[in-house]
Structure 1
Amino acid sequence: MIHIEKKHGRIHLVLDAYFMGKDIVVMISGGDQPHLGTITAGHRLEPLQTVQLQTHKEFYITEEIAIRLRKRFSGNFAICCGTHLDNITKEEIKVMTDLSIQLGIELLEELNKEYSI
């Protein structure tokens, strides 16, 4: 398992990645009401598939990370994301998105360092 956290102001995000053989499931959650908002799954040689639950907009995060992951990871992957912060500002939305993508970048660095992807 890989565990990474990021904090900025009242934003606290967590990325946990679990291996299923050669495949990986990535979960990004945070804020004051973590949930399952969007799921993006794929493989290097197949189109990405995204499921957006209700009106959640975390696909901006899951698809950006998936694009990066599919370039370097050879197995199947699923990225699940759900973050919520009451009374979030536009600036906090940008910070939360940027931090989430940074979590994905750090995941790739960890996979490259520890697992030779």
Structure 2
Amino acid sequence: MIHLERTAGRIRLVLNAYFMGEDIVVLLSGGDRPHLGTITAGSRLEPLSTLQLQNHKEFYITEEIAVRLRKQFRGNFAICCGVHLNDITAEEISLVTEISVELGDELIGLLAEGQQR
């Protein structure tokens, strides 16, 4: 398992990645009420598939991370994301997205350094 965290102001995000053989499941959550909002799955050779639950908007995050991950990772992957902050501002929405993608990039870097299966 790979565990990463970031905090900025009242935003706290946690990324956990679990290996399933040659594949990986990424869970990205945070805020006041972590939940399962969006799932994006794919692989290097397969098109991405996104499931958006109950009009959650985390697909902006999962799809961006997926596009980056599929360039480096050989296996199948699923990225599950749900971040909720009460009374979130436009600035905080941008910051959540930015930090989430940074966490995804850090994960990709760790995988490239040898934690890749």
TM-score by length of 2: 0.98
Does the CA contact (< 8 Å) of 2:40 and 2:63 recur in 1? Answer: yes
Structure 2 counterpart of 1:45? 45
Letter paired with 2:105: I
CA distance in 1, matches of 2:19, 2:116: 14
Does the CA contact (< 8 Å) of 2:73 and 2:116 recur in 1? Answer: no
Structure 2 counterpart of 1:19? 19
User: Paired residues, what number?
Assistant: 117
Shift, 1:116, TM fit: 4.9
Provide, for residues 55-99 of structure 1, a one-character-per-residue CA deviation record: whole Å limited to 9, x for no partner.
100000000000000001010000000000000000000001100
Structure 1 counterpart of 2:102? 102
Shift, 1:112, TM fit: 1.1
* RMSD, aligned CA: 0.9
- What are structure 2's unaligned runs of at least 5 residues? none
Shift, 1:113, TM fit: 1.4
- What are structure 1's unaligned runs of at least 5 residues? none
- Structure 1 residues 52, 116: CA separation in 2 closer, same or farther (over 3 Å shift)? closer
CA distance in 1, matches of 2:114, 2:30: 25
Alignment map for 1:1-117 (pairs within 5 Å): 1-116=1-116
Runs (4+) of structure 1 exceeding 6 A deviation are none
CA distance in 1, matches of 2:73, 2:6: 23
CA distance in 2, matches of 1:43, 1:96: 25
Identity value in percent: 68
CA distance in 2, matches of 1:113, 1:43: 19
